[in-house]
A and B are shown apart, each in its own frame.
Chain A
Amino acid sequence: MTGQTSVEPILKARGLVKRYGKVTALDHCDFELYPGEILAVIGDNGAGKSSLIKALSGAVQPDEGEITLEGKPVHFSSPLEARGHGIECVYQTLAMSPALSIADNMFMGRELRKPGIMGSLFRQLDRPAMESFARQKLNELGLMTIQNINQPVETLSGGQRQGVAVARAAAFGSKVVILDEPTAALGVKESRRVLELIRDVRSRGIPIILISHNMPHVFEVADRIHIHRLGKRLCVIKPGDYTMSDAVAFMTGAKLPEGVTEAA
């Protein structure tokens, strides 16, 4: 991932501001994601990572600033609109309906209908197609222990749920995939699979935004690391140029990166 300066960012944000009452979650924040890269976003608790991600995925609307996707300005008033533009997000809360089945959850908001009159007039869901697609995506992720694609999500373990959420985003994201703490609830083996999946998605040419507190994971897969501090971007570093402890020092304010003079 070199020579990115000549390439146009696929997703770019300028001067994003988001206030919740007296709290400023985003303070004129900039952001760039280049095609085909894995960009990690790290920052201390309350730095505004989640607000940034939610603004990019349409879950919140920024008060100021603009977002451009492939050079064109976009305004997402709901996650559905962002999804319509090919941006998929795995939220920390996973955004799954516990009582509904895995297949229902994977296709929530983009259900497949039966071909012919049963689909067009009677709006009947094409369950067999949805189930086989869901099954295939879970197998790709190595989540074979899920026996029944129709079992409610609430009967899955935490790791399996996260796996289903990641599979959903990976299956449908066509331009950008955003993962908010995708390995937080996973065991060592499941985390490894998710990291492999992240590389897999990148190899298909889809850039990924990865929010994580797990420094080894971040340094392992990220092409660039966006360090978020006090509601804005402090700096962007390459994992090869700095150590994990440098990154932690930057995000906690213990140290300032070279070339950044502004004190927090």
Chain B
Amino acid sequence: MASDAKSATSFEEGLKGASEKVAEFHEEKSALKRLQHWLHQTPSAVPMIVLVVALIIFGFLSENFFKATTLSTILQQIAIVGIIGCAQSLVVLTAGIDLSVGAIAVFSSVLMGQFTFRYGIPAPMAIGLGLALGTLMGFVNGWLVAKIKLPPFIVTLGTWQILLASNFIFSANETIRSSDIAAQAPSLQFWGQSIQPGGVKVLYAVFLMVALVAIMAYVLRQTAWGRHVYAVGDDPDAAELAGVQTKRVLIQVYALAGFFCAIAGWVMIGRFGSVSPTASTGQLGNIQSITAVVIGGISLFGGRGSIVGMFFGALIVGVFEMGLKMVGTDPQWTFFLIGLLIILAVAVDQWIRKASA
């Protein structure tokens, strides 16, 4: 009935003369609240502050610390962790975790080496094959996570063991000597070369790491694909309904992570000279990269943080290791302090998240 429809709006008559403004609140913001809000907006600020403070402290404690050689050594030592960290950052941003990163890196380096030396494939082609196979290993991770819907932790715990075992079986535990590589396939050691401005050695690998971080920072911030990675990590159901092809994005993320790990495998040959299936990266690469990611302020719950933060996280670890060594403490203090930093970083992450509530 018409009268019924009319009466439907009559209760809103009271709106006449009401304030036209939609609810507004003026809250007194304390300095602490503003800090929390600012950190919420700029997630890489925390690791940057920690890094600067650490640099200042070590600069005071050891007069040799601020020498160019020291700083270039730190960069050199974090080159591999930094590149693997790019892979880990991508995966963690989608609320996943990749325990197989180190195994993919070592296996890829062994594949590149053995293709060249056992099968006589020209080195550049062997490198290409190694990169492709590393990508494939990541793709398998992504496929299992996205299509079979297995938890990333379990998938990569499995592939970590499988790939590491395959690596030992395939290589028959043989190391390819550095001198052989230098003589027959120098392109495998490409990233171990360096430029020496003013006598300070800077490895090509360091430039590669910085370039990869810069490229990924651009991709994640400035492209639609990057926004989709964040959306998938934030709330996959919402992303799917909003028109993101979440499965495809997940598979691409894991495959790209595999590609980065394979690049890290290539860099390892340059850095260590030899191709060794027992390189420690296979066992520790995942923990080191997760450490850099967490200290760098990327949330393990996905969707928050930046790859630049991961770079600062890796630098913090490098600065601690080098600084404590130069000060002359027991090296165990490094791990002690890094353990503290990890817990602190996650606590800060939780606190920052409350800014949104």
Binding site for B on A (CB under 8 A): 59, 78-80, 83, 89, 91, 93-100, 104-105, 108-111, 113, 122-125, 142-145, 152, 154-155, 157, 159, 187-190, 192, 215-217, 219-220, 239-240, 242-244
Distance in angstroms from A58 CB to nearest chain B CB is 9
User: A50 to B81, alpha carbons, bound, how many Å?
Assistant: 48
Interface contact A83-B243, CB-CB below 8 Å: yes
Interface contact A124-B231, CB-CB below 8 Å: no
Distance in angstroms from A80 CB to nearest chain B CB is 4
Interface-facing stretch out of B17-25, B253-261, B334-342: B17-25
User: A59 to B245, alpha carbons, bound, how many Å?
Assistant: 12
B223 close to A (CB within 8 Å): yes
B239 close to A (CB within 8 Å): yes
Interface contact A123-B8, CB-CB below 8 Å: no
**Can you name the residue of chain B whose Cβ is closest to the Cβ of A240?**
B2
List of B residues within 8 angstroms of A94 by Cβ: 238
CB contacts under 8 Å to A, within B308-323, are none
Interface contact A220-B224, CB-CB below 8 Å: no
List of B residues within 8 angstroms of A109 by Cβ: 228, 242-244
User: What 1/0 flags go to B231-247 for Cβ under 8 Å of A?
Assistant: 10011011111111100
8 Å CB contact of B4 from A95, A155, A219: A219
Interface contact A192-B244, CB-CB below 8 Å: no
Interface contact B235-A111, CB-CB below 8 Å: no
Interface contact A240-B242, CB-CB below 8 Å: no
B285 close to A (CB within 8 Å): no
Interface contact A98-B234, CB-CB below 8 Å: yes
Interface contact A243-B1, CB-CB below 8 Å: yes
B113 close to A (CB within 8 Å): no
8 Å CB contact of B239 from A97, A124, A159: A97
Interface contact A108-B12, CB-CB below 8 Å: no
8 Å CB contact of B237 from A93, A113, A219: A93
List of A residues within 8 angstroms of B15 by Cβ: 188-189, 192
Interface contact A105-B242, CB-CB below 8 Å: yes
Interface contact A99-B234, CB-CB below 8 Å: yes
Counted as pairs of residues, one from A and one from B, with CB atoms less than 8 Å apart, the total is: 121
**Can you name the residue of chain B whose Cβ is closest to the Cβ of A91?**
B241
Sampled A-B contacts (9; CB under 8 Å) = A59-B240, A96-B235, A99-B304, A100-B227, A109-B242, A122-B222, A123-B223, A123-B225, A219-B5
Q: 5 smallest A-B Cβ distances: which pairs?
A: A109-B243, A216-B8, A95-B241, A111-B224, A154-B356
Interface contact B303-A79, CB-CB below 8 Å: no
Interface contact B1-A80, CB-CB below 8 Å: no
Contacts A95-B238, A220-B9 known; 19 new A-B pairs at CB < 8 A: A79-B240, A95-B242, A98-B356, A100-B231, A104-B231, A108-B244, A111-B227, A122-B218, A122-B223, A125-B227, A143-B22, A145-B21, A145-B22, A155-B355, A157-B23, A188-B15, A215-B8, A242-B1, A243-B1
B230 close to A (CB within 8 Å): yes
Q: B interface, how many residues as a size bin? A: 35 or more
List of A residues within 8 angstroms of B23 by Cβ: 145, 157, 187
Known interface pairs A99-B230, A152-B356; A125-B223 also in contact (CB < 8 Å): yes
Interface contact A59-B241, CB-CB below 8 Å: yes
Distance in angstroms from A135 CB to nearest chain B CB is 16
Distance in angstroms from B21 CB to nearest chain A CB is 7
User: A216 to B22, alpha carbons, bound, how many Å?
Assistant: 22
List of B residues within 8 angstroms of A155 by Cβ: 355-356
List of A residues within 8 angstroms of B304 by Cβ: 99
Interface contact B242-A97, CB-CB below 8 Å: yes
List of B residues within 8 angstroms of A239 by Cβ: 5
List of A residues within 8 angstroms of B230 by Cβ: 97, 99-100
List of B residues within 8 angstroms of A242 by Cβ: 1
Distance in angstroms from B106 CB to nearest chain A CB is 32
Distance in angstroms from B223 CB to nearest chain A CB is 5
List of B residues within 8 angstroms of A220 by Cβ: 5, 8-9
List of A residues within 8 angstroms of B225 by Cβ: 123
List of B residues within 8 angstroms of A99 by Cβ: 230, 234, 303-304, 356
Distance in angstroms from B89 CB to nearest chain A CB is 15
User: A109 to B224, alpha carbons, bound, how many Å?
Assistant: 8
Interface contact A108-B234, CB-CB below 8 Å: no
Distance in angstroms from A249 CB to nearest chain B CB is 14
**Can you name the residue of chain B whose Cβ is closest to the Cβ of A83?**
B243
Interface contact A108-B227, CB-CB below 8 Å: yes
Interface contact A125-B224, CB-CB below 8 Å: yes
8 Å CB contact of A108 from B2, B8, B22, B243: B243
User: A109 to B171, alpha carbons, bound, how many Å?
Assistant: 45
User: A110 to B23, alpha carbons, bound, how many Å?
Assistant: 31
8 Å CB contact of A97 from B11, B223, B238, B245: B238
**Can you name the residue of chain A whose Cβ is closest to the Cβ of B227?**
A104
List of A residues within 8 angstroms of B218 by Cβ: 122
**Can you name the residue of chain A whose Cβ is closest to the Cβ of B19?**
A189
List of B residues within 8 angstroms of A187 by Cβ: 23
User: A220 to B11, alpha carbons, bound, how many Å?
Assistant: 13
Distance in angstroms from A253 CB to nearest chain B CB is 21
User: A242 to B1, alpha carbons, bound, how many Å?
Assistant: 6
Interface contact B243-A97, CB-CB below 8 Å: no
Distance in angstroms from B357 CB to nearest chain A CB is 8
Interface contact B223-A108, CB-CB below 8 Å: no
